[in-house]
Amino acid sequence: MNIDKPQGRKFHPIYFLLLVPFVALLWVPSYDRVDPELFGIPFFYWYQMAWTLLGAVCTLPVYLHEEKTRS
């Protein structure tokens, strides 16, 4: 461990959450279809729109972790 690193900066597995949106959105064949539709919107579109919110949901625990380690 590098000596001038402040304490509590070790890698924490919670950071893996930030990878989840990459897997969900870059694996395109997994969502490249029409069904099931939602309010007449094909799956391809509402799935990706849902990830605008889910992406933030994935980041939130990491943020709370950061906040905790700072105080």
Partner 1 sequence: MSANPVAIAVFLILFVMVACLGFVATRWRKADLHSVHEWGLGGRSFGTVITWFLLGGDLYTAYTFIAVPAAMFATGAVGFFAVPYTILIYPILFLCFPRLWAVAHRHGYVTAADYVKGRFGSKTLALAIALTGIAAIIPYVALQLVGMQVVFAALGIPSTFAGIPNLPVIIAFCVLAAYTYSSGLRGTALTAVVKDLLIYVTVLTAIVVIPSALGGYGKVFASIGPKLLTLPHGSDTSLGATFSYASLALGSALALFLYPHSLTGILSSSSSMAIRKNAILLPAYSLALALLALLGYMAVAAGIKAMPEYAAGFGAFGNNFAIPALFLHMFPAWFVGVAFAAIAIGALVPASIMAIASGNLFTRNIYKQFINPNCTDRQEGRAAKLASMTVKLGALVFVLVFQTSAAIQLQLLGGVWICQTLPAVLVSLYTRWFHPTGLLAGWAAGIISGTVMAYQLSLKSSVYPLHLGGITVPCYAALLALVLNFAVAALVTLVMNAVAPDKTDETVPADYHG
Binding positions for partner 1, rule: CB under 8 A: 2, 4-6, 9, 15, 18-19, 21-22, 25-29, 32-34, 37, 39-42, 44-45, 48-49, 51-53, 55-56, 58-60, 62-63, 66-67, 70
**Residue in the structure block whose two tokens are 């309010």:** 39
In angstroms, give the least distance from the CB of 13 to partner 1. Answer: 14
Rounded Cα distance between 49 and 41, Å, is 11
In angstroms, give the least distance from the CB of 5 to partner 1. Answer: 6
